[in-house]
Amino acid sequence: MGIVKFFDTTLRDGEQTPGVNLSAREKLEIARQLARLKVDVIEAGFPITSVGDFEAVKAIAEKVEGPVIAALARANKADIDRAWEAVKYSKRPRIHTFIATSPIHMQCKLKKSPEEVLKTAREAVAYAKSLCDDVEFSAEDATRSDPDFLCTVFGAAVEAGATVINIPDTVGYTTPEEFRRLLRYVKEHTPGICSVELSVHCHNDLGLAVANSLAAIEEGVTQIECTVNGIGERAGNTSLEEVAMALYVRRDQYAKTFQLDTTQIYKSSKLVSALTGISVQPNKAVVGMNAFAHQSGIHQDGVLKERTTYEIMNPQVVGVPSNRLVLGKVSGRHAFREKLREMGYEPSEAEVEKLFREFKLLCDRKKEVHDEDLQALLENELRSVPEEIKLEYFHVTSGNNTVPTATIRISQAGRYLQEAASGDGPIDALFNAIDRATGFNCHLIEYSLKAVTSGKDALGEVSLKLQFQDRSYTGRGISTDVIEASVRAYMNALNRLLMDTPGLVIGSEAV
Ligand code: KIV
Ligand code: ZN
């Protein structure tokens, strides 16, 4: 059985999902989870793009062990230097450099001739190799490139020292059969190709990213680039969990192994969704809320008699929790800390203290506390940002015969901002009151509410997205009270906005 390596680009291509803006701390937490999932490579970011991304890649390179840590760089010296500066702290660093090879990209975007692109690619790989042993080269928009030119560029990259050659379907244009033909062509016509790792990177514009990646595996490709939950530019990237479970469930067909720990898939999906604010569609394969739910009577009857009648995967293999009761009101700090460890988290002492206080408050409001509740508290903590503005209190009146009105009191650096407003409903009234208090005119562009567990006293989790001027910010809040969860999510998004926009004046009237 051959081995397939998983190159995870959740923190780079995944972070290019519209509206996603991860902090360095969130990126580090996701990278730690990817290491627990045992991906082979973590593409931690694109260091030249911002100081924040550089710092995040550097922190991951310093602190996360196990996987290779890769950083992306365009095919120029400045990008490659910056990528190397960030990843050189890793025990297993990789520079990933790329240039476009399709006629449309070369002419319209790069404004370079094919000869210039060939020279640039060769020089970039040689320069990256002078810094780092492990160099990946990608031909952007490979599937719309001339196959002979593609092979020439790949040949030059191999000669210059590339250790991995990646074939991206950048715009999600190819189909499985066409992709297989291209891969065969590349393997037959690229000098030296059998001495390097062959990789593919598929986008999902036609919903074919997973099918194309699996077709590539059948053609002998040994590295798959993918993201958790399939997030990424436009329609996203190949979904890690779907490829992994296809290889696992259909090992009779693919005869491939991998080193991923599939029992970490569900947790990784939840963490990425919580920190990016991109929720997983209910019917998403492998990790969607309904992936293991059986609705019709016939199916339920079948599953009760024999699980495999309608279930091709055991939910435990992907780590779906079984709603276990974890701790109660009388549990102490020690048991609490141990429980967090058992769940794979290593929060600092200060974080344990804060989480423990929140856990005790939750015990007062909720009869039973489950793994998922604890996970939600943890994710909330990970997603927290410095609170430039704090919620002091809110009050809301609503009913079927009255205009919903809300009062809010917010504090910022020792001063208080208080406002009242009405709205279409209690949440709208509260958001309007917050906007009045801060003086920001935000548009709510997404709002979703879900219960973390079942039962009337379940924790409600609100995820939302705000638009402020030309940027969008995600926010998340949890509480057993859905109105409070909504206010907390709104405040969380505003604090992200404030972190991103230093010097923004908050509120005109201090009370
Ligand atoms: O989609 C793409 O072509 C990429 C490359 C940088 C690998 O993301
Ligand atoms: Zn991509």
> For residue 286, is it within any domain?
no
102-142 pLDDT, tens digit each: 999 999 999 999 999 999 999 999 999 999 999 999 999 99
Using the CB atoms, write b or e for 464-487: b if 16+ within 10 Å: bbbebeeebbbbbbbbbebbbbbb
Cα dihedral 284, 285, 289, 294, rounded to 10, equals 120
Whether residue 25 sits in one domain with residue 138: yes
Same domain, 221 and 78: yes
134 CB less than 6 Å from ligand 1? no
- In angstroms, rounded to a whole number, what is the distance separating the alpha carbons of residues 464 and 278? 9
Q: How far is the CA of 203 from the centre of ligand 2 (A)?
A: 6
Task: Examine residue 505 and state whether it is found in any structural domain, yes or no.
Answer: no
At residue 172, the pLDDT reads 98
Q: What is the CATH number of the domain that holds 415?
A: 3.30.160.270
Judgement on whether residues 20 and 44 belong to the same structural domain of the protein: yes
- Hey, what are 247's tokens? 């290889």
pLDDT digits (tens, 9 = 90+) for 345-400: 777 888 889 899 988 888 888 777 887 888 888 888 887 888 999 999 999 999 98
Is residue 378 domain-shared with residue 395, that is, in the same domain? no
Ligand 1 and 46: CB distance under 6 A:
no
Do 370 and 419 sit in the same domain of this protein?
no
Of 382, 403, 425, the residue at which a domain comes to its end is 382
The answer to whether position 330 is within a domain reads yes
Whether the Cβ atoms of residue 488 and residue 479 lie closer than 8 Å to each other? yes
Q: Residue 240: which of 267, 219, 220 has the closest Cα?
A: 267
Claim to verify: residue 437 and residue 455 sit in the same structural domain: yes
Does the beta carbon of 74 sit less than 6 angstroms from any atom of ligand 1?
no
Tokens for 241, please give them. Answer: 């969990």
For residue 226, with 0-12 CB atoms within 10 Å meaning exposed, 13-18 middle and 19 or more buried, which class applies? buried
Average pLDDT over residues 473-485: 91
Helices (H), 88-146: 103-104, 114-131
pLDDT, residue 297, reads: 65
Instruction: Output the pLDDT for position 27.
Output: 95
Q: How confident is the model at residue 323 (pLDDT cuts 50, 70, 90)?
A: low
Q: Name which of 60-64, 304-308, 317-321 the model is least confident about.
A: 304-308
CATH of the domain at 81: 3.20.20.70
Does 342 lie in the same domain as 307? no
pLDDT at 328 exceeding the cut of 80:
no
Within-domain flag for 282 = no
> Alpha-carbon distance 438 to 252, whole Å?
59
Task: Convert the pLDDT of each residue in 207-234 to its tens digit.
Answer: 999 999 999 999 999 999 999 999 999 9
Q: Please give the pLDDT value at position 511.
A: 34
Calculate mean pLDDT across residues 320-324: 66
Three state DSSP letters for 403-434 = CCEEEEEEEECCEEEEEEEECCCHHHHHHHHH
> What digits encode the pLDDT tens for the residues 403-423?
999 999 999 988 999 999 999
State in Å: Cα 101 to ligand 2 middle: 14
- Has residue 510 got a pLDDT over 50? no
462 in a domain, yes or no? Answer: yes
Is the C-beta atom of 140 inside 6 A of ligand 1? yes
Same structural domain, 33 and 116? yes
pLDDT averaged over every residue in the chain: 91
The answer, yes or no, to whether any atom of ligand 1 lies below 6 A from the CB of 172, is no
At residue 187, what are phi and psi to the nearest 5 degrees? -65, -35
Answer yes or no: do 220 and 368 share one domain. no
What's the pLDDT at 324? Answer: 58
Give the structural domain span for 463. Answer: 389-500
Protein residue with its CA nearest to atom 2 in ligand 1: 170
Q: What are 37's two structure tokens?
A: 């999932």
CA distances for 385 relative to 25, 375, 475, 491, 492, angstroms: 9, 18, 10, 10, 7
| Prediction pTM value | 0.82
In a domain, 140, yes or no: yes
pLDDT for residue 18 is more than 80: no
Q: Which atom of ligand 1 is nearest to the CA of 168?
A: 3
Question: pLDDT: is 68 or 20 the higher one?
Answer: 68
pLDDT exceeds cutoff 90 at 235: yes
- Give the Cα separation of 283 and 402 in Å (integer): 38
Tell me: pLDDT of 437 over 50. Answer: yes
Within 13 A of 215's CA, how many CA atoms are on the CB side? 19
132 falls within a domain: yes
Name the domain count of the chain. 4
List, in sequence order, the alpha helices (H) in 96-237: 103-104, 114-131, 147-159, 176-189, 209-218
Please identify, among 219, 245, 276, the residue that sits at the C-terminal boundary of a domain. 276
Based on the fold, state whether residues 39 and 71 are members of the same structural domain: yes
- CA of 212 from ligand 2 middle (Å) equals 14
Residue 509 placed within a domain: no
Whole-number Å distance, alpha carbon 168 to ligand 1 midpoint, is 6
Dist CA 115 CA 97 (whole Å): 18
User: Would the pLDDT of 334 be above 60?
Assistant: yes
Rounded to an integer, what distance in angstroms lies between the CA atom of residue 309 and that of residue 300?
Answer: 10
Q: Are 241 and 306 part of one and the same domain?
A: no
Ligand 1 within 6 A of 138 CB? yes
* 139-156 tens-digit pLDDT: 999 999 999 999 999 999
- Looking at the structure, tell me whether residues 267 and 414 fall in a common domain: no
Nearest CA to ligand 1 atom 8: 13
